[in-house]
Structure 1
Amino acid sequence: MSTLTKAIDFVWQNTRIGRKLGGGELTPLETELAAQLDDAMAHASAGRRIATIYAIGEIVRLLDG
């Protein structure tokens, strides 16, 4: 499993955004964070993609309480 795949899996398994994208409704903040992640992924190098995924995942985990 690649590092990027592991990072995506971490976000998917450990954040409300990841769980909600599977069928739940996102809050406006979660929607904005997901949009920022999409934008960052489209314009970043592989290393920055990984860092961005981890950073957004950690922010969302903090927001989850």
Structure 2
Amino acid sequence: MKRTIPVRAGWIPRGDEAHQVPPGWADHPLLADLAVLRQPVHDGQPQHVVVGWKQILLDEELGLVLR
């Protein structure tokens, strides 16, 4: 939960398999309603996560950045 950020529910399509919680989380009351955004890292640099029509980056200095 330390690495979670609240965002509008409409940002993440509910049927998108790429953002589903792991199977062990589905029955947990605090974890079941989360969407998992796996931020890729290339050459040590974090990359944007594509979510619907948005690109989201969790930047160490700037926080949540949308493009």
Fold shared by both chains (TM-score > 0.5): no
**Greater C-alpha radius of gyration:** 2
Between Structure 1 and Structure 2, the one with more helix by share is 1
TM-score (norm 1): 0.29
